[in-house]
Amino acid sequence: MNEDQNGKPSRRKLFIAEMIGTALLLLIGLSSVILMFGEGNPFEELIPSLAMRRALNGFFFGAVGATIAVSQVGKVSGAHVNPIVTMLFWLMGKLTGRAAIGYVIAQFMGAVLGCLPLFVWGSMGRSISFGATVPGEGYSNLTAVMGEVLTTFGLIAALIMFLAFHRLRHFTPAMIPCLFAVMVPLEAGISGTSVNPARSFGPAVISGVWQGWWIYWVGPLVGGLLAILVCNSFAKRIEVAKLYHFDSDPEGLIRRVQRPQVALPPT
């Protein structure tokens, strides 16, 4: 067990695992986006329906996140791979503020590291800015923000409802790809269905495309906070800051922190 100078277990391994998990999510997930939607991709003829390709890609992207959650990486860090998910666990008192900041930094670092190998996709990747999220053609920034608010609300509310109940929480990873398979074809044309500031940050860094970048910070943040407020009574039942491997936290770093939970208005 790694320990710091005060004899407390080191959080370093949690942050490293979270960075690896986020890097894998973006590397594999955005590779699938490029392969399905990049210029000259083979799927355009195989699956002419754009909505169907979006649904399949949404399912696959969600399945990547689910696989990370059930993997050894998820066993260590909980596989948040999204600053908004980390915010949920922090507000519910399952992470200290310092740990939450460490998670978010690790997620953004992992996002950039995971996107760097996307350059191997060459012109196919560049044709869609390596999966960068931008407002859809014909949609205003406000509409794109609302799209991100609604989809992030859906994601966080679903996570709360599954994680709050013992009979449901082990099915959390299975819920994620199904949810994305529904959300992506409905909303991808509006904002790109990011629901994750780190997911938007990585491709923006390597592509240099920052169009409407603030949308993918403000939208998910507002949507996540609204979901926590609306589902507050259920969110308080969450026991550990993980999406799977709920009984694996031998050092007690991401289960209960020694501080009162953030007071939220009653629902």
Question: What pLDDT digit, counting tens, does each position of 173-209 carry?
Answer: 999 999 999 999 999 999 999 999 999 999 999 999 9
- The pLDDT of residue 25 is 98
Given a cut of 50, whether residue 3 has pLDDT beyond it is no
Cβ neighbours of residue 192 closer than 8 Å, sequence gap 6 or more: 132, 133, 134, 135, 136, 200
Residue 18 falls inside a structural domain: yes
Q: What is the pTM of this model?
A: 0.89
d(CA 55, CA 8): 45
Closest Cα to residue 24, out of 66, 60, 68, 59?
68
pLDDT digits (tens, 9 = 90+) for 111-153: 999 999 999 999 999 999 999 999 999 999 999 999 999 999 9
Enumerate the H helices of 71-127 as residue ranges. Answer: 72-77, 83-91, 97-115, 122-126
Closest Cα to residue 72, out of 20, 31, 29?
20
- The pLDDT of residue 92 is 92
- The pLDDT of residue 253 is 56
pLDDT digits (tens, 9 = 90+) for 212-264: 999 999 999 999 999 999 999 999 999 999 999 988 764 555 665 444 444 45
- The pLDDT of residue 247 is 83
Residue 258 falls inside a structural domain: no
Cβ neighbours of residue 202 closer than 8 Å, sequence gap 6 or more: 26, 30, 111, 112, 114, 115
- The pLDDT of residue 260 is 43
Residue 263 falls inside a structural domain: no
Residue 267 falls inside a structural domain: no
Answer with the residue of higher pLDDT: 11 or 100.
100
Residue 146 falls inside a structural domain: yes
CATH of the domain at 131: 1.20.1080.10
Residue 1 falls inside a structural domain: no
Given a cut of 50, whether residue 5 has pLDDT beyond it is no
Residue 53 falls inside a structural domain: yes
Residue 245 falls inside a structural domain: no
Q: Which domain holds residue 105?
A: 12-235
Number of folded domains that form the chain: 1
pLDDT digits (tens, 9 = 90+) for 13-52: 999 999 999 999 999 999 999 999 999 999 999 999 999 9
Question: Within a 13 Å sphere around the CA of 119, how many CA atoms are in the beta-carbon half?
Answer: 8
